[in-house]
Amino acid sequence: MADRGKMEMFDNDVFKMFFYENRLKTFEDWPFDGDCACTPQNMAKAGFIHAPSDNSPDVAICFCCQKELEGWEPDDDPIKEHQSHSSSCYFINLKKDVEDMTVEEFLKLLKEKEASIITKNLNDTMNKFKEAAKMKRDEIVKSAMGEE
């Protein structure tokens, strides 16, 4: 019974994308397959999950560092692209499957993933605030100049 509880912990959404098989499942509608470097298997192995949008069907996001990449070409090597665009990503630098990590490595991966999410959310919030402040400033300037 205790072992079952431990296994259920890893079914949690926090850990779900740590595992290759779960990342691979996200590439069901990936536009590249077969005879190219950025196959679903290679993308998932490099830590990416597929997160398409209506106008960008090839968006991939690292589950750990949250780096978002799009505009993939058939010859793009996902591991090399990940390393070149996010050289500090703990997952890509560790070069291990989750199943082969030590407890210390696993906990550091979790910490780095959570830190990346917090940083991304903070940056998104700051950008929204800056845009809102700019719009408000423009509104105030127009009002002061009588241009409403």
Mean pLDDT of 6-21: 71
Residue 122 placed within a domain: no
Residue 25 placed within a domain: yes
Sign of CA dihedral 38, 39, 41, 43: positive
Please report, as a single letter, which amino acid is at residue 59: V
Say which CATH number the domain at 29 has. 1.10.1170.10
According to the model, what pLDDT value does residue 14 have?
74
Residue 144 placed within a domain: no
Residue 148 placed within a domain: no
According to the model, what pLDDT value does residue 11 have?
52
According to the model, what pLDDT value does residue 54 have?
86
- For residue 101, the tally of other CB atoms under 10 A from its CB is 16
Q: What percent of the chain has pLDDT over 90?
A: 73
Q: Decide which of 111 and 12 is more confident.
A: 111
Number of domains in the chain: 1
Mean pLDDT of 89-115: 93
- For residue 116, the tally of other CB atoms under 10 A from its CB is 21
Contacts of 46 (CB under 8 A, 6+ apart): 62, 78, 79, 81, 82, 92
The Cβ-side half-sphere exposure at 33, using a 13 Å CA radius, reads 6
Q: Residue 76 belongs to what domain range?
A: 2-112
CA distances from 33 to 42, 118, 135 (A): 10, 33, 44
Q: pTM of this prediction? A: 0.78
According to the model, what pLDDT value does residue 24 have?
96
